[in-house]
Amino acid sequence: MKKYLYQILTIAILLFATQSCFQDLDNDPPFNFPQEPEKPEPPVDPTGLIFYMSFDGNFIDEKSEIAATVVGTPTFAEGKEGQAYAGAADSYLTFKVDDLVQEPESDFSVAFWYKVNANPDRAGIFTITPGVPETRSKGLRIFRETTSAGQILKAALGTGTGDAWLDGGAASTIDPELTDWVHVAVTMTNGTAIFYFDGEPVSTNSSFAGISWDECNVISIGSGAPGFTEWGHLSDQSLIDELRLYNKTLSPDDIKKLMNIKPPLGISGEIFYAPFNNSFRDISSGVNPTVVGTPSFAAGISGRAYAGATDSYLSYAVSDLSETLGEELTVSFWYKVNADPNRAGIITIGNNVFEDRSSGFRIFREATGANQIIKANVGIGGGEVWVDGGPAAHINAETPEWLHIALVLDAESTTLYINGEVVRESAMSAPIDWTDCEAFSVGSGVPTFIEWDFDRSDLSLIDELRMFNRALSAAEIEEIIAYDN
């Protein structure tokens, strides 16, 4: 009898347990089954995106989800964002044009980040072609080649009957020793094709007959091969990142959004702007300076900054400014002092005659006790005007911080600002004189201001350097300070 009671009790317990399990299944599952990983959201882009490669550990077009055909052994490296395509000898990627989510149209744009490796001395970077060499009357080619100043980037667009070239000259030339990432974009529509470099147009073809995509079936990344092998434009060992194609003509604002650039400052009269974001280029004119010595880059007030070095400075030509100099001028920049050496020129435009300060201007620093004092000097033709802020212009050199400096000139006065505050206003008996002023130096008094050891190079940091051909108001200087911060 006990035996049967035991069996009945066992069966009852099993039935109760089974019922409890099913009740649990009706509510919360007793196990956490592995979930399918969520696909990352597509990139936020202007409309018209038909192809996107982030190169974050794969060679996949994230719009079509198709992987490239890999030729050779390209790899990955630290990119502008995440990882980047790293080229190798005899290596590149290809896609079929048919693989795009939408075939290219007459309105078309390509945009990407690029970090050059100048070996070999020329290479193809990005092409869409029929895949047959020496057929430049169809499709698109972006490539680079050597010049005395570095590597110049160009584009050639097939129009059906010939090819249209976009050559930015000095404005699209990279110094491989000094330049980090640059942003490259080519936009086109029937009638106009534009080559952008770091967000600025450097070459415009206003008689562009329109792109011909006839028989174009191969997209190649990291080489001119197979469709553009003329003149040795083969595999590129550079880095490429954030490659996008659009069936629309990107606007300048669209391109700046891709670069995460702030909207324009909005203050009129800007004739020079060097943000020093891994480049020494004047954005306003698109011109690169002559680089003397080994200046470099460091963390700035906004992005990167010019970092001075011994016997080093930048030399721009006054003739390269986007507009001529007049009676009014404003110079604006951020500055973080390095007090060694104990004095140095910072920004100068002069006439290159020793001890002749009758033209141009000079902004410099010198030791005063444990501090550094910022001063300026302005040539007025028959003499000079000094702008000495005294204690108000002293900088604590032991614990340096970023300071905003502005020099504002009109026909009657010269005013020196530090952090938006007036530290000195000096009367002008005549307006500034620009006679024989040819050189514009950053980071030294050389070659136009070498008295009293101001030929020493400044090892300090300089950022967001701007010049305006008018006298800015105090409110506009405050606007610049707020914008850069």
Instruction: For residue range 198-207, list pLDDT tens digits in order.
Output: 888 999 999 9
pLDDT at 81: 87
Structure confidence at residue 288 (pLDDT): 84
Residues 96 and 207 in one domain: yes
- Whether residues 243 and 275 share a domain: the answer is no
DSSP 308: -
Whether 156 is in a domain gets the answer yes
The 3-class secondary structure across 391-438, one letter per residue, is HHHEEECCCCCCEEEEEEECCCEEEEEECCEEEEEEECCCCCCCCCCC
What pLDDT is recorded for position 32?
36
pLDDT at 401: 94
User: Same domain for 121 and 220?
Assistant: yes
5 by DSSP, 3-state: which? Answer: helix
Inside any domain, residue 136: yes
For residues 206 and 290, give the distance between their C-alpha atoms in angstroms, rounded to a whole number: 30
235 and 362 share one domain? no
Total domains in the fold of the chain: 2
Judgement on whether residues 108 and 85 belong to the same structural domain of the protein: yes
118: which DSSP letter? -
Q: Of 258, 280, 315, which residue sits at a domain end?
A: 258
* pLDDT by position in tens, the chain (length 485): 434 444 444 444 444 444 444 344 344 333 333 343 343 344 445 789 999 999 999 999 999 999 999 999 999 999 988 899 999 999 999 999 999 999 999 999 999 999 999 999 999 999 999 998 878 899 999 999 999 889 999 999 999 999 999 999 888 998 888 778 899 999 999 999 999 998 889 999 999 999 999 999 999 999 999 999 989 999 999 999 999 999 999 998 899 888 877 777 889 999 999 999 878 888 888 788 999 999 999 989 988 899 999 999 999 999 989 898 999 999 999 999 999 899 999 999 999 787 789 999 999 999 998 899 999 999 999 899 999 999 999 999 888 999 999 999 999 999 999 999 999 999 999 999 999 999 899 999 999 888 898 888 999 999 999 999 999 999 999 999 999 98
- Judge whether 363 lies within some domain: yes
In-domain check, residue 327: yes
Question: What local confidence, expressed as pLDDT, does residue 304 receive?
Answer: 86
Please give the pLDDT value at position 22: 39
* Euclidean distance between CA atoms 97 and 218, whole angstroms: 6
Tokens of 146: 């050597």
Q: Are residues 163 and 275 in the same domain?
A: no
What is the pLDDT, as a whole number, of residue 4?
Answer: 43
Query: Is position 405 within any domain?
Result: yes
Determine the pLDDT at residue 45: 56
Q: Going by DSSP bridges, is the β-strand pair 163-167/173-174 parallel, antiparallel, or unpaired?
A: unpaired
Residue 20 lies in a domain: no
Q: 291: part of which helix (H) or strand (E)?
A: strand 290-292
CATH number of the domain at 138, please. Answer: 2.60.120.200
Query: Both 202 and 281 in a single domain?
Result: no
User: Following DSSP, what letter does each residue of 9-76 receive, concatenated?
Assistant: HHHHHHHHHHHHHHHHHHSS-SS-PPPPPPPPPPPP--TTEEEEE--SSS-EETTTTEEPEEES--EE
Closest by CA position to 414, among listed 384, 451, 381: 384
Domain boundary among 203, 225, 258: 258
Residues 353 and 419 in one domain: yes
Would you call the peptide bond into 275 cis, given omega within 30 degrees of 0 as the criterion? no
Last residue of a domain, one of 228, 258, 288: 258
**Residue type at position 53:** M
Whole domain around residue 461: which residue ranges?
Answer: 270-484
Do residues 390 and 436 share a domain? Answer: yes
Q: What is the pLDDT of residue 303?
A: 80
User: Do 405 and 456 have their domain in common?
Assistant: yes
Residue from 425, 417, 435 nearest 385 by CA: 425
Q: What's the pTM value of the predicted model, to 2 decimals?
A: 0.67
226 and 341 in a single domain? The answer is no
Output the pLDDT for position 210. 95
In a domain, 22, yes or no: no
Q: Name which of 167, 360, 264, 252 is nearest 273 in CA terms.
A: 264
Residue 35 within a domain: no
Is 245 found in the same domain as 392? Answer: no
